[in-house]
Amino acid sequence: MRYPVAVKIYDSAAEAVADIPDEASLAVGGFGLCGIPNALIGALAERGVSGLEVFSNNCGVDDWGLGILLSAGRIRRVTASYVGENKEFARQYLAGELEVELTPQGTLAERLRAGGAGIPAFYTPAGVGTPVSEGGLPWRYNSDGSVAIASPPKEIREFGGRDYVLEESIVADYALVHAEIADTLGNLVFDKTAMNFNPLAAMAGRTTVVQVEKLVRPGELDPSQVHLPGVFVQRLVHTGVQEKRIEKRTVSA
pTM: predicted TM-score of the whole model, two decimal places: 0.93
Q: What is the pLDDT of residue 253?
A: 66
In this predicted structure, the answer to whether residue 2 has a pLDDT above a threshold of 60 is no
Q: Which of 97-101, 106-110, 236-240, 246-250 has the lowest mean pLDDT?
A: 246-250
> Residue range 49-72: average pLDDT?
92
For the chain, report the end-to-end CA distance as a whole number of angstroms: 50
Which residues 6+ apart lie within 8 Å of 101 measured at CB?
Answer: 77, 78, 79, 80, 137, 139, 151
- Distances in whole angstroms, Cα of residue 152 to Cα of each of 14, 15, 136: 38, 39, 6
In this predicted structure, the answer to whether residue 245 has a pLDDT above a threshold of 80 is no
Tens digit of each residue's pLDDT (9 = 90 or more) over 122-180: 999 999 999 999 999 999 999 999 999 999 999 999 999 999 999 999 999 999 999 99
Mean pLDDT, all residues of the chain: 93
Do 115 and 203 contact (CB within 8 A), yes or no? yes
Looking only at the bridges linking them, the beta strands covering 235-238 and 8-10 are parallel
Do 168 and 129 contact (CB within 8 A), yes or no? no
Helix (H) or strand (E) segment spanning residue 182: strand 172-183
Q: What is the CATH number of domain 8-120+169-238?
A: 3.40.1080.10
Q: What is the pLDDT of residue 92?
A: 94
> Residue range 27-44: average pLDDT?
95
Q: What is the pLDDT of residue 241?
A: 86
Q: Which pLDDT band holds residue 6 (cuts at 50, 70, 90)? A: low
In this predicted structure, the answer to whether residue 85 has a pLDDT above a threshold of 80 is no
